[in-house]
Structures are given as C-alpha cells and as structure tokens.
Structure 1
Amino acid sequence: MAVTGIISAIVVGLVIGVLGRLVVPGRQNIPVWLTVVIGVVAALIGTAIATVLGVASTRGVDWIELIIQIALAAVGVAFAAGQYGRRRS
C-alpha cells in the first residue's frame, strides 16, 4: 500500500469514525485515535459488505455503502465506549 493510500484510509476512517460518534447518543469517553481505528475498520468492513450486496459501485455517491459504514462505526464506538469506560472505572 502506498503512502497516499494509508493517508486516505486514515482520513476516511476519521470521517467515518466521527460520523459514527455523532450517531451514538450521549458522551463517549474514548480517545481520538480509537475513533480513527474504529472508522478505518468500519470503512473496510462496510465496503466488503456493500461489495457482497452488490451496492459498492453505483453511479454518483454510494449512499448505501456510506450508511453501512456509519452504522458499523456507530456500533464500534458504542461498544468501545462501553468497554473503555468499564475498564477505566
């Protein structure tokens, strides 16, 4: 993977992670780096799911793929916030 691919994966992960955090109600006491990691993983898994469903390559914006990615990020953020908060208490 090239450096530009890594940088773009981090940027996409940041955006997806932040959108996932916005979907989850309440305050999440998790670090920003964990949000980025969750976003990158959610983006990769969401793209794989969208590919299997046949909605990964559409004309224009891939809204279904984006919704899948954000939903996965929201689940990941909610899980991480629960685990991180429980571990720190």
Structure 2
Amino acid sequence: MGAILGAIIIGGIAGALAKLIMPGDDPGGIIVTILIGIAGAFVGSFITVNLLGMGGGGFIWSIIVATIGAIILLAIYRLIVGRRTAR
C-alpha cells in the first residue's frame, strides 16, 4: 500500500515537472498531466529497472526517472490527441 501511495505522490510531482518542461495546452489540463505523471513513474521505473538494470537510487532518482517517463508519455499523448483534433 505504501509503494502505491509513494508512486502516486512521485507521479504527481513528475507530472507537474513534465508540464513545466513541456508547456502548452493539453486537453484535460493539469489533472490529466498528473495522471500521465503517475503512469510515467511506472514506465520510468520499468525502463530503468527491467531494461537498464539500474534499480534503487532514492527519492530524487525516483523523481528524475518518473519525470522522464512522464515526458515520454506526455509527448505520445500530445501526438495522439493532436491527430484526433486536427481532423
């Protein structure tokens, strides 16, 4: 239970940081960005632990990894939603 709550908190921070790094209008606003940050925390963790073999690292490392994952997902989200609204 604590790990899930930690992932939500770290993901929320990562989503806010991703929004600062990639400003712009996103459908859904800050709530969607925070949700993308939470998903980014899981994606970033998967990439670093399973694919790169770099586990651990503490709170700051978790924020960095989650932010990178959130930026990747935010870019994909903008590509998908951008195509839908351009039609």
2:55 match = 56
2:35 match = 37
**Quick check: 32-41 or 75-84, which moved more?**
75-84
2:24 match = 27
TM-score normalised to structure 2 length: 0.66
TM-score normalised to structure 1 length: 0.65
1:16 match = 14
In the alignment, structure 1 segments of 5+ residues that lack a partner are: none
Structure 1 runs of 4+ aligned residues shifted over 6 Å read none
**Take 2:27 and 2:82, find their aligned partners in 1: how far apart are those partners?**
8
In the alignment, structure 2 segments of 5+ residues that lack a partner are: none
- Asked whether 1:70 is paired with 2:63, we answer no
Instruction: Figure out how many residues of one structure are paired with residues of the other and give that number.
Output: 84
